[in-house]
Structure 1
Amino acid sequence: MIGVIDYGMGNLFSLSKALERLGYPYEVVAEPEQLNTYSGLLVPGVGAFGDAMRNMQDIGMDLAIVRFAESGRPVLGICLGMQLLFSESEEHGLHKGLGLLPGRVIRFQGERKVPHMGWNQLEIKQEKHPLLAGVSPGEYVYFVHSYHVQVERKEHLLADTDYGYPVTAIVAKGQVAGMQFHPEKSGATGIRLLQNFAKQCEGVLS
């Protein structure tokens, strides 16, 4: 069973529908004490980093997610949810994140259209990672974001995309992973990535 975290800033409807299409059991969860009943967690998110962290802290979800990740069970952050996994963000001031991955969330540099919105190709960096099973370099996924992650360690970068310069798209450290784009809105490629995560939750992938 996958838990989909509800802290008031997630696009839960489309993500839930994607899991239903895949046939994987899930529950939307807003109570931190319920997290231990799940084999994996999805952390969605739409909006500002600081607001999201405050919402999580208000209900104790931040510490609960960290404890869950430390137990070795899979966690996947999507869009803002991926950014929250990192150390800090400079969005509207400096804010601490969950600290599950080292790195900083920064604003796009130069004269690029913000938000970065639309379909972009994945440039795969670690083809053999189980989260990328069945995904080929150059496949398209759907992005909507104004800030992006500057990873601290390149071994955590699974894929990036080109938006005038390389932009982090998929990250992983152990069982903790993140996708800057919306897999639930990214057609067959996104569904495949969600399926790979669901299999990881079942213990099929290592």
Structure 2
Amino acid sequence: MNNKSVDVAIIDYQMSNLHSVEAACKFVGLYPVVTSDPSEILGAKAAILPGVGAFGEAMSRIKELGLSNVIKDFIGSGRPFVGICLGLQLLFPRSEEFGSHCGLGIVGGRIERFSPVSDVSQKVLVPQVGWNTITQVNQGWGGTLLGGVRNHEFMYFVHSYYVIPDRRDCTISETEYLGTRYCSALKIDNISAFQFHPERSGESGLEVYRSLRNEIEAVSE
């Protein structure tokens, strides 16, 4: 690695969409590093926890790599932290996906699975894969990483489970699928987390990364 200061540590636990996240960061002018090295993570100006796959396997790998406390320590530092898709769910205490598994326990709440509809003519499937809208709730998106995104914008989703935070005021966007309206983005202090994939959501998703760049610049001043 060169001497340039790392803007964003993309946490690598060997089962996530790392390179698309890395490409999005670079596109908006950030300097990212994909890493599982605690010193690189803790030395970065911001950190991203991406994720695609099963909750239990992800937590096993995070523990094997000794990253649980690293993630908690980074969040405790007050620097910007972003969770994406499974990376959002891993912040919660527990998931029942393929058995009962403990999460990081940083955000209070629970995780539920979508209930598939019985009417096959509707052709609605679990997991949700594809485009869906996000809708502002609570105080709106000013001062969040969604600040540059229009209300009711389409984002790209791939998931079977959704989160239900204990704190209702931390939800900043909701999305509806199979008749369930759920939290698709949350903001708690320095934590911003999304059920959708900003890096796969076109120009609107890139606005999330631009807002992260602006937040990093503001914190670094």
In the alignment, structure 1 residue 117 sits paired with structure 2 residue 122 = no
Determine the C-alpha separation between the residues in 2 that align with 1:4 and 1:34.
10
TM-score by length of structure 1 reads 0.94
Tell me if 1:158 matches 2:161: no
Partners of 1:79 and 1:42 in 2: how far apart? 11
Task: Give the CA RMSD over aligned residues.
Answer: 1.5
**Secondary structure in 2 matching 1:191:** helix
Instruction: Pick which of 130-139 and 196-205 moved more.
Output: 196-205
Following superposition, the deviation at residue 101 of structure 1 comes to 1.0
Alpha-carbon distance between aligned partners in 1 of 2:219 and 2:46, rounded to the nearest angstrom: 13
Q: How does 1:7-86 map to 2 (within 5 A)?
A: 7-86=13-92
1:192 is the counterpart of 2:207: yes
Distance 1:149 1:7, change over 3 A: same
- Provide the TM-score with structure 2 as the length reference: 0.88
- For the pair shown, the structure with the greater C-alpha radius of gyration is 2
C-alpha contact 1:100 1:176 (8 A) present in aligned 2: no
> Is the 1:156–1:171 contact (alpha carbons within 8 Å) kept by the matching residues of 2?
yes
- Name the % identity: 39
Question: Which structure 2 segments of 5+ residues have no match?
Answer: 1-6, 118-123
Which consecutive segments of 4 or more residues in structure 1 shift more than 4 A? none
What CA distance in whole angstroms lies between the structure 2 residues aligned with 1:89 and 1:198? Answer: 31
Contact 2:134–2:154 (Cα < 8 Å) also in 1: yes
Q: Is 1:3 aligned with 2:9? A: yes
99, 113, 120: which is aligned to 2:105? 99
Task: Report the Cα distance in structure 1 between the residues aligned to 2:201 and 2:24, rounded to whole angstroms.
Answer: 10
Match of 1:121, SS? strand
Q: Deviations over 1:152-205 (max 9, x none)?
A: 111110101111221221011100111111100101110001211222222269
Instruction: Choose which of 165, 172, 195 in structure 1 pairs with 2:187.
Output: 172
The alignment status of 1:201 with 2:216, answered yes or no, reads yes
- Give the letter aligned to residue 199 of structure 2: E
Q: How many residues align?
A: 205
User: Is 2:144–2:187's contact at 8 Å kept on the other side of the alignment?
Assistant: no
In 1, Cα distance between the equivalents of 2:100 and 2:217?
37
- Distance between the aligned counterparts of 1:203 and 1:93, measured in 2? 42
Q: Quick one: which amino acid aligns to residue 150 of structure 2? A: S
Deviation by residue 1:68-87 (Cα, 9 ceiling, x = unmatched): 10111111010101111112
TM-superposed deviation, 1:93: 1.6
Which 10-residue stretch deviates more, 196-205 or 155-164?
196-205
Q: Deviations over 1:25-64 (max 9, x none)?
A: 1111111232221010000111000100000000111110
